[in-house]
Chains A and B, each alone.
Chain A
Amino acid sequence: MADVAARADAASAAERRVPSRMRAILQRKSTIAFLMTLPLLLLIAVLVIYPALYALHLATLNKRMTQFIGLKNFTFLFTRETFWMVVQQSCVFALTAVFFKAVIGFIVAHLVHNVPNNKQRKWRGMLLIPWVIPPAMSTLAWLWLFDPSHSAFNWLLGHAGIGPVPWIGDANWARFSVILVNVWIGSPFFMIMYLAALKSVPEQLYEAAKIDGATWWQTMRYVTLPMMRNIIAITALFSTIVTFANFDIVRVLTRGDPLDKTHVFATWAFRVGIEGGDIPLGAAVSLFMVPILTIAAIFILRDINRRGNEA
């Protein structure tokens, strides 16, 4: 009888333990974090993972999309002169634009950092304007400035006895114009990230450097830059990805003209896939960005992790 009673007690204790274990799981920080990010994960699955897999599927089909042809679209691209030109242009476009955005962002961040605190807000707001305007709209304004017949820049240069400059009519000028607009739009992002990083550098480090008699350059080299290194790497990575995959600026400003000399991956994929009616080849072009960006991301993130572990 006592044995039966003990078993009954154990069973009821086990029943009590199940909800309490569930409660414990639910109360774990990781579970809560997972549940809170679940809507976002689902959104990413629907809007990013599914289209990516679908693009992968499309890239393995023939031109009429009736037959599986494996990797033939990719190998075909390797034989095309225009494709290699687009690869080269995309790299030049992304690296040049990111470099100038980083340099301008860095300089402007320092300038704003030195503005008295009560006036900084106004400057930050004004300097962010290029970044917050939808790029397609601001690029349209730039197109009017570069317009072949009515360029405002050429009008000004004409008064100074210079020009007219074929801003988007000549291949080299067109490449310059596209990069210029990208730098104009993207620099504020670097500026705001670098400004945040600058504000997080402990003031004591600068005081110590000052006491040690460090010059401006030494302070920059041994205090500011090491403290900003991770932010610089992450910002550069993020911007490289976004710049590499850019579509709107090139599409609105030059459409890849003249002679395809301003095409980047996304605009050429659109030209081949949507305008030219070869969707599988267009999908293959756009997927070429993935391995290039993955390699860049692995290197940069590995570097950041290593420094994080060292710290």
Chain B
Amino acid sequence: MTYKKDKISRRRFVAGTAATTAVAISAPYVHTAYAAGSLNVGMWDHWVPGANAVTEKLIKEWAEKEKVDVTIDFITSQGQKLNLTAVAEGQAKAGHDVLFLASWMTSRQADLLEPVDDLMADFIKENGDVSDVARYMAQIKGKWRAVPSTFGAQMKGPASRIDLLKKHAGIDVQEMYPAGAKPKSDGWTYDVFLKAAEACHKAGVPIGIGLGTTADSVDSIGAIFSAFGAVLVDKDEKITVKTDNVRQVLDYCKRLYAFLPPDAPSWDDASNNKAFVAGQVSMILNPPSAWAVAVRDAPKVAEQTWHHPMPKGPKGRYASFLQPNIGIWSFSKNKSAGKSLLRHLNTRAAAEAMVAASKGYDNPPYSKFKSFKTWAEVGPPKGTLYHYPDPHQDQILSVAAMPSPHEVAAQIYAQGTMTKMVVRHAQGEDMEKTLSWAESEIEGFMR
């Protein structure tokens, strides 16, 4: 009996290795036990109690099904910890595989994020289109660098006191925005808003808009700027500070300033919530977090709260939408598992679970996800959140400094350039001097 000796030639070995490598690299992610490996996920630590638990459950369900060893960190945004984490991981090129990216972080880290055009094409096909603001925040230079997140996405429209606005300004917000029905909001304009601000101010319950440099203040003033068509830098990177639209909005804001709380320039993101829960103001521009706290701590305030869209300005009805994203680092060792996880988190069922867990706070980016039953049913009063996701698309969603190129927009947003312009002019600085100051600041941002 003779045995044939198996001899592997050098050529055969090289060809075999190359073929194996090619298959390994080009193989699509297969939803089976082959997906095993580890995945480190960094998510935002949600304000709403219980919201983290549902997202954690969704991720663990996926991990169990896909045989992936997953670890999840919920990172607070307090003290900029989430942003610091993203910056540090980007510098070190190490850390989480999948990371929650607050506002401008996607554009900032775009070169280090794995493109997700394939995922977004499928999500849009399945879940409906996303808003311009979601596209602006995550699609950088034509490529989707992250997936717009449902978890933590929020609309900063008015949370109004039904009783106070009716009593002092003669505005019935429930009639304007009835629960379960289309809005009758033609008369809801910035002129009416100004009159209401004056009336409420006289009654000792002003409209609570902050003029500091934190997100709520910047987003509120950003929405007003957009409604007047006031853009500081256009999308072609041309400075457009000294335009009639900017002058018009500054003039309007100066008149509004007289009716805002006197310490508005020092307000942070907690100030408006505290003032609302304490019953000191008749309206704030905020997601339903203040109302959720009032449900617990001040039920009488909560019962009189109604969430609805923004007033209409000369260029339209604009609302600030804070759209965070979830991205996969390009240095991640398990990108395919990261993509699989994002597919799982962007199903209708997952989005609905997140919205329910956040008591309606989370506001999904997709057009087919704007009519979940949570918003219709949650209360008191029942229907207070019906118009929060803008189911009838009454508003144009935007973010302060959009559509400026991201690098400049992020600086305008972080430095609170718009709110500072308002405060400077409202405190007596000449309009042209304020505009020159803003122009000089922006020239600095564009260096």
Where the two chains meet, the residues of A that have a C-beta atom closer than 8 Å to any C-beta of B are 63, 76, 79-82, 147-150, 164, 166, 168-169, 174, 254-260, 270-271, 274-279
Contact = CB atoms under 8 A, between A and B. Distances in A.
A197 to B, nearest CB: 38
B411 interface: yes
Interface in B263-295: 263-268, 271, 274-275, 278, 280
A166 B263 contact: yes
Given A274-B83, A274-B87, A277-B108, A76 B447 contact: yes
A278 B104 CA distance: 12
B274 A149 contact: yes
B407 interface: yes
A257 B414 CA distance: 12
B265 A169 contact: yes
A231 B423 CA distance: 45
Contact of A148 (B263, B407, B437): B263
A148 B266 contact: yes
Contact of B414 (A76, A174, A260, A271): A271
B144 to A, nearest CB: 20
Nearest to A76: B447
Given A271-B414, A271-B415, A276-B410, A168 B266 contact: yes
Given A148-B261, A257-B266, A259-B265, A277 B278 contact: no
Contacts, number: 80
Nearest to B447: A76
B212 A258 contact: yes
For A166, A254, A257, A260, which residue has the most chain B Cβ atoms within 10 angstroms?
A257
Contacts of A271: 414-415
Interface in B44-95: 80, 83-84, 87
Nearest to A149: B275
Contacts of B274: 147, 149-150
Interface residues of B, number: 37
A277 B263 contact: no
Interface in B76-131: 80, 83-84, 87, 104, 108
16 contacts: A63-B447, A81-B437, A147-B271, A148-B266, A148-B267, A169-B265, A169-B266, A174-B266, A255-B213, A256-B213, A257-B212, A257-B416, A258-B212, A270-B80, A277-B104, A277-B414
Interface in B118-170: none
B42 to A, nearest CB: 17
B262 interface: yes
If over half of A's interface residues share one DSSP class (helix, strand or loop), that class is named, otherwise mixed; here it is loop
Contacts of B411: 276-278
A169 B263 contact: yes
Given A255-B212, A271-B415, 13 more contacts: A80-B444, A149-B263, A149-B271, A149-B280, A169-B264, A255-B213, A257-B212, A257-B416, A259-B424, A271-B414, A277-B407, A277-B410, A277-B411
Interface string B320-344: 0000000000000000000000000
A275 B80 CA distance: 8
B348 interface: no
6 closest Cβ pairs, A-B complex: A169-B263, A148-B263, A169-B266, A258-B265, A275-B414, A276-B414
A257 B265 contact: yes
Contacts of A168: 263, 266
Nearest to A254: B266
A256 B414 CA distance: 12
Contacts of B262: 164, 166, 169
A258 B279 CA distance: 25
A56 to B, nearest CB: 16
Nearest to A166: B263
Nearest to B446: A63
Interface string B236-278: 0000000000000000000000000111111110010011001
Nearest to A255: B213
Contacts of A274: 80, 83-84, 87
B440 interface: yes
B191 interface: no
B301 to A, nearest CB: 14
Nearest to B409: A277
